[in-house]
Amino acid sequence: MSIPTGKYYLLLAVATLVVIIDQASKYIIVTHVGLYESITVIPGFFNIVHVQNPGAAFGLFAQQAPMIRNIVLIGASVIAMGVILYLFYQTPATYPLLSAGFALILGGAAGNMIDRLRWGKVVDFFDLYIGSFHWPAFNVADSAISVGMVVFAYYVIFRKVPI
C-alpha cells in the first residue's frame, strides 16, 4: 500500500498555516491589546477583544482546578488530534476537500493546545454580537476547527464518505 504524499503535503501545509496565523494573531493581541480591552471594528456587530479562556469551548471546565483542567483539556486535545489523524489517513485521496477539513481541525487543535501548554489558557479575541446577544469570544484556531467540522459534517451527511 503506497502513501499518497500529495495528501500529506496538504495536511502539513494547511495545519501549519493555521498554527502560524493563529499564534501570530494571538501574539499581536497579547502584545497590543490590554486584557479585557475592546476595540470596535464594526459598531453593533464586531469587536476585537483580549480575553483568556482557561476552560474549553464556551468556558466549560473553567471552574476546575488548573492542574486537573489542563491535564484533561490537553489530554482531550491529544486524543482528538489522534482521531483526526486516523480519519485523515482513512480518507481517500479523491476527497481533497475533506482532507483539507481534517487539516483545518488538526491545525486549530494544535494552535489552542500550544496556548494551553504555554499559559494554561487560550487567548480569544474575535467578539461577534448583535445588540445584547454576544457569541462567545473565539480565535483563528476555533474558526479553523469550526470550518473543518462543517466540511466533515457535509461529507458525513451528504456525501457518505467511506471512512
pLDDT tens digits, 81-90: 999 999 999 9
Q: What is each CA distance from 33 to 29, 119, 128, 157, in whole angstroms?
A: 5, 17, 17, 41
Residue 148: Cβ-neighbour burial (10 angstroms; 0-12, 13-18, 19+): buried
Residues pairing with 124 in the sheet: 51
The active-site residue, picked from 22, 115, 124, 127, is 124
Our count of domains for the chain comes to 1
Domain limits at 92? 5-159
Own/partner pairs, 1-5, CB within 8 angstroms, 24+ separation:
4/93
Active site residue 142: yes
Alpha-carbon distance of 61 to 70, in angstroms, equals 9
- Percent of the chain past pLDDT 90, that is, above it, reads 72
SS3 52: strand
Active site residue 124: yes
The active-site residue, picked from 22, 115, 127, 142, is 142
Regions of the chain with pLDDT less than 70: 1-4, 55-63, 66, 161-163
Give the pLDDT score at 122.
94
